[in-house]
Structure 1
Amino acid sequence: MSDSCNPREKQCPQCLRTLPSSEFHSNRRRPDRLAYYCKRCAAERSEASRRRRGIGQRRQTEVPVPAGSKWCPDCDTTKPLDAFARTKASSSGYHSYCKPCHNARGQETRKRLYGGSREYHLRRRYGIGQLEFDGLLAAQGGVCAICGVDDPQHLDHDHRTGEVRGILCFNCNGGLGQFRDDPVLLADAIAYLKGTTWQRVLIHPGVFQMCSPTRGRHPSRSS
């Protein structure tokens, strides 16, 4: 990399010191590929931001961490690397907290910001909350928009536009997904059922025969 992209020295706008480029973190999004503030000032600003948000001081382990392991500051435990989820956002390639602690933090955040995981997932995936969900369900009469079963819980949406269409039961929602929301496939399935369904036809009083429009096929044992 040329000196014009990554200068050997740079002035930090906070402490006004002119320092070698090694005293700045890398930042590929900036023209010089270096962070705006030096490492010391960046750490001070980060700590000040954490205090303003009510976050405690960043903890550090007092015991050396062996190779192939990582220390979790929440449970104060050194664990193998596979106990930490991977992420490209960290220089180490792993999250700061082990998987159980990471999940617990996520649940706490969703509870604090959204009131729970249900509200979080509804808003993140569909753009509506539980209140809007309840209103849509009430407008449907409290039943599945397709089969009419009580208390459906699956929010159906158009996978191309993301627009919410209605609330369905598990079976109807899964059925649309299996047919890839394709009206042609659904119409073909209806035509197939009508053309192959065995029916009881009255031949004589009290005598029925199983008949099907499809030749060469016999009714199953359950027909």
Structure 2
Amino acid sequence: MDDEPEGSAFNCKQCAAERSTVSRRKRGTGEQRRSPVPGLRQRYGIGQRDFDEMLARQGGMCAICGADDPQHVDHDHRTGWVRGILCFNCNGGLGRFRDDPVFLAGAIAYLKGTTWQRVLIHPGVFQMCSPTRGHPPSRSS
């Protein structure tokens, strides 16, 4: 036992497979096994019926982009309140921007091209300017 690194466990494939089989039998065929979104009650405090009703109110589409068959429950990480059902990409996108409206507004401005703009400084010569940053990009970029 002294040879084992702290916090790890060594299992042969057969023992791991047996433990997995026992675990599956214990879980049975409850709500988690039938639900397209496992762990709804434990993670978000809603059941499959709540999920289905919310999705129906959204017309069966992602609340942001309108993609068909969204499967991700979006919730406010500070309060835990469920906001809607999203597709994988929209849910991940909100998470990457840490649910921060300021970051999302910055991304929108960036996509609209308002951060860097070409300005004609001489016939046929343009300079890149940014109203938000105040200086053009370096020559090495």
- Please give the TM-score of this superposition, normalised by the length of structure 1: 0.44
- Bigger relative contact order, structure 1 or 2, given CA contacts below 8 A and separation 6+? 2
Q: Structure 1 residues 103 and 160 mapped into 2: Cα distance closer, same or farther (>3 Å)?
A: farther
Matched, 1:213 2:117: yes
1:122 is aligned to 40
Q: Structure 1 residues 135 and 196 mapped into 2: Cα distance closer, same or farther (>3 Å)?
A: same
How many residues matched? Answer: 113
- Within 1, Cα distance between the matches of 2:97 and 2:87? 16
- Within 1, Cα distance between the matches of 2:118 and 2:110? 10
Amino acid at match of 2:15: C
Matched, 1:148 2:66: yes
**Secondary structure class of the residue paired with 2:85:** strand
**Structure having the larger proportion of residues in strand:** 1
1:105 is aligned to 22
Amino acid at match of 1:143: M
1:132 is aligned to 50
- Within 2, Cα distance between the matches of 1:154 and 1:115? 15
1:25-40 equivalences under 5 Å are none
Could you tell me the percent identity over the aligned residues?
A: 58
- Within 2, Cα distance between the matches of 1:109 and 1:185? 44
Q: Which has the larger radius of gyration?
A: 1
Tell me, yes or no, if the aligned pair for 2:32 and 2:39 is still in contact at 8 Å.
no
- Within 1, Cα distance between the matches of 2:41 and 2:110? 39
- Within 1, Cα distance between the matches of 2:72 and 2:100? 19
Matched, 1:172 2:90: yes
Q: Structure 1 residues 112 and 98 mapped into 2: Cα distance closer, same or farther (>3 Å)?
A: same
**What RMSD, in angstroms, separates the aligned Cα atoms of the two structures?**
2.9
Amino acid at match of 2:86: L
Runs of 4+ deviating beyond 6 Å: none
Unaligned runs of 5+ in 1: 1-66, 69-80, 85-96, 198-211, 218-223
Amino acid at match of 1:83: N
1:50-69 equivalences under 5 Å are none
1:112 Cα deviation (Å)? 4.0
- Within 1, Cα distance between the matches of 2:95 and 2:28? 30
- Within 1, Cα distance between the matches of 2:78 and 2:91? 16
1:101 Cα deviation (Å)? 2.6
**Secondary structure class of the residue paired with 1:82:** coil
- Within 2, Cα distance between the matches of 1:101 and 1:123? 28
Amino acid at match of 2:49: L
1:82 is aligned to 10
